Amino acid sequence: MFCSEKKLREVERIVKANDREYNEKFQYADNRIHTSKYNILTFLPINLFEQFQRVANAYFLCLLILQLIPEISSLTWFTTIVPLVLVITMTAVKDATDDYFRHKSDNQVNNRQSEVLINSKLQNEKWMNVKVGDIIKLENNQFVAADLLLLSSSEPHGLCYVETAELDGETNLKVRHALSVTSELGADISRLAGFDGPDTKLMQNSGKTKFKRTSIDRLMNTLVLWIFGFLICLGIILAIGNSIWESQTGDQFRTFLFWNEGEKSSVFSGFLTFWSYIIILNTVVPISLYVSVEVIRLGHSYFINWDRKMYYSRKAIPAEARTTTLNEELGQIEYIFSDKTGTLTENIMTFKRCSINGRIYGEVHDDLDQKTEITQEKEPVDFSVKSQADREFQFFDHNLMESIKMGDPKVHEFLRLLALCHTVMSEENSAGELIYQVQSPDEGALVTAARNFGFIFKSRTPETITIEELGTLATYQLLAFLDFNNTRKRMSVIVRNPEGQIKLYSKGADTILFEKLHPSNEVLLSLTSDHLSEFAGEGLRTLAIAYRDLDDKYFKEWHKMLEDANAATEERDERIAGLYEEIERDLMLLGATAVEDKLQEGVIETVTSLSLANIKIWVLTGDKQETAINIGYACNMLTDDMNDVFVIAGNNAVEVREELRKAKQNLFGQNRNFSNGHVVCEKKQQLELDSIVEETLTGDYALIINGHSLAHALESDVKNDLLELACMCKTVICCRVTPLQKAQVVELVKKYRNAVTLAIGDGANDVSMIKSAHIGIGISGQEGLQAVLASDYSFAQFRYLQRLLLVHGRWSYFRMCKFLCYFFYKNFAFTLVHFWFGFFCGFSAQTVYDQWFITLFNIVYTSLPVLAMGIFDQDVSDQNSMDCPQLYKPGQLNLLFNKRKFFICVLHGIYTSLVLFFIPYGAFYNVAGEDGQHIADYQSFAVTMATSLVIVVSVQIALDTSYWTFINHVFIWGSIAIYFSILFTMHSNGIFGIFPNQFPFVGNARHSLTQKCIWLVILLTTVASVMPVVAFRFLKVDLYPTLSDQIRRWQKAQKKARPPSSRRPRTRRSSSRRSGYAFAHQEGYGELITSGKNMRAKNPPPTSGLEKTHYNSTSWIENLCKKTTDTVSSFSQDKTVKLKHVSICFWGGLRKLPIMAEVKGEQAHHMMKAGVRKREWGRCHTL
């Protein structure tokens, strides 16, 4: 069946652990991953259906059917079927190859091995064979390819640390909790498969693979329809002419042609003639056009694959064109939608600078005490003498080490705070090296910095923190942990040092922490604020650092109130927050830290260059607002020179609508000439709107919106306001967005802006966005292959996007447009000669050329030169394309090939056809050859016109070629030589003797082309055809040169000696006060640490046989089987508990699924709190 009943929405899921027979009754999806489009059975019908969606392919199929009717066909059927089969076959092979690699990639994932509990034994099983309800054993650093429910872990209290790099690009660890009723079952991480294959969150959010076509493809479909209508008009004109001619003149030929009286009426003759001319004139759009387009696109794809400047040597990753049908669309991009983590950044936090007691550390000065840039020649601080130092850490300011050695108490206290106030866990590897496991990469950078400067975090227990201070071990008693959350924007620890003093150490957002300072910090606050502004101006992530000495009595009273608040049943959170506020006051400022969220190499230059190319970049990220804004400043997408930055953070549709309209009023109020209107869809109107805005907007604006507000803004009555405001802004940043919202934003711009969009990302959460955009780019970095598998193009670094668009994309668009303009021109010139000839041959559908010339013209005589131009031509060099991004704008505006350009090509072709027909016709009229013989015969006329046509179109393509290579010379002049070789061969006596019916033009070429007057006619025809073009182009380049004309002229002048191009320097912004606060941290880790649940006890004494089984795999299996049997046996006795919206549900996905779990009633509450792993395609980690 071609259509099936739509799958009902799943509202509950019943699963029995380790019972495949029971679970199979519900026909849950298997775990096989499908990203491919076809299989062996569906390839042929689906691919043919897709190919015949092209109007041209359907058009040629109809022509083929017409050619099989002998009464109307003047050409043999093989002239159409051979090229049609060829282009369909080539396209099918290309599509099959692309899909083969998708199957290959799917198989790599599907065939990954896992350990599944089957028949009470652990057995190796491929991930694609894992079923819903299976119990799986996972080990450290193992990939996971299903949505799983954690049952037990070797970690204390059933904890599991998950890395979701392949899902969202985040390399920091997330904590998941096992079910409390099953957490004691085993030592190895064991999970229950809850959702498999297409039901998993990843696949639900991935969206469908769409059939993508370029705007030129869509335009060509329209043009083919127009041309077909044009052919019908020509056919009607010629058919009417035939009917008139038959009724008035044709009677005189009936006896001569052996027609019987009344056998053929003039009307019926005109009807047949109409179809005959439709067949003859079909070469206006030959099937070879589509063959050539596919070959050119294939060549452009190989250029991308072979580009060494897009090869990432560090990981040996080349750029890859995963599709060959979208290359010219790369030259028309107007909007780029980019992920942040792993795409713009490397997700590597580096401690760069700090401010301690009013002094900046981390800057480098020259001999004149002037601040200089850090270069590779600069020697970093030598940490090799420290045995426990991180070897990858680099710091270039030696002054900090000197301050530490001199015993500066403020510096020591600053580093001590970094070593104590955090949630990092430590362990030693097999080599005895100290390893940090971090939940927050920011904290990892700070603790690592303190470690290298001599304050080494060694270990922790729920009650103590042990650090090594300049070689001396010190254990601090952890009295309280005031955890971070998004409201507090700070975290604090209260410790008792070895001397018995109680201290509160705090770090957090400067905007929050500065309000908590003691009044005596006024001078230091002013200095530190200036330093923070400088750090923020450089795009660094900042935290303020402060401490407070606490009185023992005061602390005891405060701690007693905290215990009472924790035990309270009402307003517990509010009371705790109040107590936190009370003790976090009168702080003493120590300084501030500046951490770099390391951008990928070349990101700033790429963003700047693409902005100059009039490409708008929107960042769609799941990160917090502060982090997203910080990266915006680091990439120069946001600047302090902007007129305004609109932040939309409404909690409901009314608030969001009001904030959007206030922002629009603010923006348009400053530009009063702008008339507020609705967003339009037509390209021309949209371009007019853009030009009006560019002329009237006098400044730069940015829009920042969070995911919660975006959900309301995407509603039907608000999205127009959102889109209008966003498109007026230079930069748009959407933070805390889900994968589905990313796709919705892309679709919104595609639908209402009628703009060509590009989405780029590196994680599985970017797949839906990549599939929704016109062009999808996958970053093949360390975060896996899900984005790459769904993409159209892939490479290793964001900076390669600049070359992909400005060089390969622009060249592909430029070449394709020149190819199409020339192709339509030469075929109109070639075909319309038949139309003029019809008025002189009694509208008899007689072809003016030899049939073999008609067959070979597009396949042999003119195919290679136009392919060479379409593959190799370029107006300016690749370096100039990069240095002058403004060259990209013609593609965005569709200036090189559009309906207007098409009509110009048609008119040019009509003019050439007139010259080709009437100059030889006039020259041949009542003329004799040099030998006195008559040369005005049909065959000599056909040879003269054919020769003139080949020479004219060859000279025309020579004029059109901007970049000459050896291949161009060989193809253009070689094609003319091939024409004459084939011409003399087909007109020879020898081939006529072999095939007398197929080659009737015997001896004509030799007879005609030996006449001087014939060559004079050919010369006159050529000059008359090309001279107007030469004159027009000369005047146009001289009087109205385009930017590419000017650069090409400059290239010629600088060809011998070109100065090296200088890279754009990274500018430092000196600005007004702006917080650079950004901190990647999750709430709850403080409680986790103080509870001790994430800490493994050293040599724990076994209290029962159950604990002894933790390190015995066989006992674990037996215990698990027994526990499972006991649970299953109770199913018939205990009632079924339906758990609504368990954490296994899709959060931020397409739907939210509750699960029906058959468990004992007393276990339902524990199931509700169970941590369920997302579809990460990542790794599990143990500490």
DSSP collapsed to 3 states, 202-239 = HHHHHCCCCCCCCHHHHHHHHHHHHHHHHHHHHHHHHH
One-letter amino acid at 525 equals: L
**Summary count for the chain: helices (H), strands (E):** 42, 34
Q: Are 646 and 734 in contact (CB under 8 A)?
A: no
Task: Pick the closest to residue 234 from 833, 835, 825 (CA basis).
Answer: 835
Tokens (6 digits) for 1172? 């369920």
The pLDDT value given to residue 1148: 29
The pLDDT value given to residue 154: 75
Phi, psi of 310 (to 5 degrees): -115, 15
Which DSSP category does 546 fall into? E
Coil, helix or strand at residue 731 = strand
CA dihedral 781, 784, 788, 790 (to 10 degrees): -150
- What CA–CA distances, in Å, run from 106 to 35, 210, 219, 1176? 7, 17, 34, 16
Tokens (6 digits) for 1059? 């100065």
Task: Pick the closest to residue 617 from 802, 385, 351, 817 (CA basis).
Answer: 802
- What CA–CA distances, in Å, run from 145 to 12, 248, 392, 488? 22, 81, 32, 37
Q: Are 297 and 220 in contact (CB under 8 A)?
A: no
Residue 691, Cα to own-chain centre: how many angstroms?
A: 27
Q: What is the mean pLDDT of each run of 10 residues along the chain (1183 residues)?
A: 47 77 80 79 87 77 79 68 77 83 80 81 83 82 78 74 66 70 58 50 56 84 87 92 84 57 72 87 79 89 94 91 90 93 83 93 76 72 80 87 92 95 86 83 91 92 90 93 86 93 93 92 93 86 93 93 88 90 93 90 92 92 84 86 88 90 81 43 46 58 91 85 89 90 92 91 86 91 71 92 95 95 94 93 86 84 93 91 92 92 95 95 76 72 93 95 93 94 84 71 78 90 94 89 83 61 44 61 65 57 36 45 46 35 30 32 36 36 36
The pLDDT value given to residue 367: 65
- Between strands 345-356 and 588-599, the pairing is antiparallel
Q: At what angle do helices 899-924 and 938-960 cross, to 10 degrees?
A: 140
Alpha carbon distance 530, 546 (integer Å): 17
Q: At what angle do helices 288-306 and 55-67 cross, to 10 degrees?
A: 140
Task: Pick the closest to residue 231 from 858, 832, 945 (CA basis).
Answer: 832
- The angle at the Cα of 90, spanning 85 to 95, to the nearest 5 degrees, equals 125
Q: Are 318 and 305 in contact (CB under 8 A)?
A: yes
Q: Are 478 and 498 in contact (CB under 8 A)?
A: no
Token pair 């905290």: residue: 562
One-letter amino acid at 723 equals: L
Q: Which residues of 994-1008 are buried (b: 16+ CB within 10 A; e: fewer)?
A: eeeeebebbebbebb
The pLDDT value given to residue 802: 95
Q: At what angle do helices 215-248 and 899-924 cross, to 10 degrees?
A: 40
- Cβ-based neighbour number of residue 186 at 10 Å: 27
Token pair 């599990």: residue: 1180
- Is this model's pTM higher than 0.85 or not? no
Continuous H helices in 539-584: 552-567, 572-583
Which DSSP category does 393 fall into? -
Whether 937 is a known active-site residue: answer no
Long-range contacts formed by 953-957: CB under 8 A, 24+ apart: 953/826, 953/829, 953/830, 953/862, 954/862, 954/865, 955/1022, 955/1025, 955/1026, 956/822, 956/825, 956/826, 956/1025, 956/1026, 956/1029, 957/822, 957/862, 957/865, 957/866, 957/869
User: Does residue 214 come out as left (phi exceeding 0), alpha (psi in the -120 to 50 range) or beta?
Assistant: beta
Alpha carbon distance 140, 161 (integer Å): 9
Tokens (6 digits) for 999? 């080659």
520, with CB counted inside 10 A (0-12, 13-18, 19+), is exposed
Strand partners, 161: 175, 1181
Task: Pick the closest to residue 765 from 599, 619, 600, 622 (CA basis).
Answer: 622
Q: Which of 339, 510, 721, 850 is catalytic?
A: 339
